[in-house]
Chain A
């Protein structure tokens, strides 16, 4: 299945170089947690993930064609 993935800020380095890209997962479905694992993103670096424009849980199921954005941890402010 294909997912439109967006890795924000410093997380960009876990992708192919661009911030937004199409990503193919070799499965018919996977959870957000599994996706982060496949991408090799340390969970501690993630503040949260959105699917569409909604905040998703780690167990949210992805079935292809979603727009997924991964936001980095932030401190300060």
Chain B
């Protein structure tokens, strides 16, 4: 199974990955609707770079009471018709990368738009060693 990996030392904080994700999956340029969370900020301690991406831990699949999120061939698939908007998956995702919406949710579907856009190879798509 393959998943996204984030390499903080390479990230420049351009947010192109967020724009790539939201435009591909939500058809809008809105970094807050990206199904990954990359931050690169100066705080009192200097520069802090953090990245949260889906690593296919399956917490959402396990938590969904109506099986609206399932794993198919190593990818997540979401069925909006089944979803009851209970929000359990959004709360349970340890990486906080599931986007809650007015109707339904957005999970990472491994489209790899973010990987394709990242200018520095800070995002990669690799085998998960579990």
* Direct contact, A vs B (beta carbon within 8 Å): no
- Interface set of A (CB-CB < 8 Å, partner B): none
